[in-house]
Structure 1
Amino acid sequence: MQIKPLKMRWASGGVNYSYLLAKLTPPSMSATNWIIDPAEPEEIRSQLSAGEFQSITTIVNTHHHYDHAGGNLEFASLLKERKTPEFIIGSKKSATLSSSNIVLPEDGETFDLGDKITVEAIRTPCHTQDSVCYLVHDADSPNEYGIFTGDTLFTAGCGRFFEGTGDQMYKSLSHIIERTEGIWDKVKVYPGHEYTKSNVKFVRSKVWKTIGENPAFDKLEEITNKTEVLTGMFTLKDELDFNPFLKLNDPYVRRAVGDAQNLLSESEVMSKLRSLKDSF
């Protein structure tokens, strides 16, 4: 399979990603490929070949925020020259053409791209109540998985709790980890923004303050200082090693939120850690 990251809103500071999810075969009129979170259609189209653009049949959203779903109608109008696209969205808050071509996936519902690529919807309410992550697997490559996490999971971070609570984010991230148990080292993470540099600065300032306290995080920091585009470079196993929002019982994380004696629940630690990040 092909996962092609597409930069959006980098000049204005949004550092968003859209993604083309496609079969490895050359794009064709008969393909059934996805475009994920196409918030800026003109920016996206300029990064796609004519064949890639014409192969898109489905517009997919990780959640309804404008910087992810705000380009749905414009992108659909561009595609309508050839066909009317299907929409896979978390709720009807995402702009779409009509109710007849909308799929609102249930948690655990699967979709097929051709006969080899399977995508599973994983409901992860918190950043928004309609947040959905998409776990993709190519049957031709047993060790090849990816997960599109929108604004739920970032490299070394997680999303703000705009419509949810610390308990919801804890449960949503745990749901991702439980669903992918046994394949953590195979699942590459594709978030909705390139926030790695700011996340690393926060974690170094508040959690693992000294080199050697978390070697996995030290390595991430080194890579981040040299690299601009980091999406798809790290797996869920990496996140479990260096993301403090997935290490809520780590003594350094507990110390960072003032709970050196381990008196708080994981949900409470999640809330306090995100509050620290919000004010950083």
Structure 2
Amino acid sequence: MNKEQIRNCGDELYRAMQEHRPVAPLTQRYKDISIDDAYHISLRMLERRLADGETIIGKKIGVTSAAVQQMLGVYQPDFGYLTSSMVYSGEMPISERLIQPRAEGEIAFILKRDLCGPGVTEQQVLAATESVMPCFEVVDSRIENWQIAIQDTVADNASCGLFVVNEQAAADPRKLDLPGCEMVVDKNGRELSRGFGAAALGNPLTCVAWLANTLGEFGISLKAGEIILSGSLVPLEPVVAGDTMSVTISGMGRCDIRFT
């Protein structure tokens, strides 16, 4: 793709987000789109958001678990940027903000030191982490009917939507068996799903290391103070206004959200 096409696609996805309307898959319209093109499209979309006054508060890795990969038909991880307008607590206005939301439970990391690849290891991630906590990410796609290939979701900021974390449930990761942590997700008062930390590339630390090393190829680091979402441990769940959900992770605690 040329620079004009990349810019136009980034602007189109930005407008789709602002106007709450999906667009046709990019991979159906640009047969030569590469993953590198897609990341540049996502940067253009991010540029538009930052121009609106948003700030970067973290990053996320997506499509890490087999359950999510099979649901989306995308079989490799991707990454996106978290901005100041994405984070909520208590209530989340998905009917006002999102197009086709799906909720997923995951472990969020708060960093106390920068991480910059290549060569970042799981032990370096552990040493750089201040705390971990339960999180709901509500992903969204600006692509019609979630008809995404890897290039589509990468271009669309890794299908980022909104998220919530419970900082009161923060725990020291050095005291936890992160691959063995069990997650239980409830929806509207009934158990919906269970998963373990190992569902995300075998270990949430592996996910954050992958993210640091992949971003390092673009000269981007994970920064102290940032929130890093390490990938879903359970299948995605469509949600609508009026739904309530909770996620409990052993060794950490609980995170609750009501959708409006």
Could you say which structure has the higher strand fraction? 2
TM-score normalized with structure 2 length: 0.31
- The structure with higher relative contact order (CA 8 Å, sep 6+) is 2
Whichever of the two has the greater Rg, that structure is 1
TM-score normalized with structure 1 length: 0.29
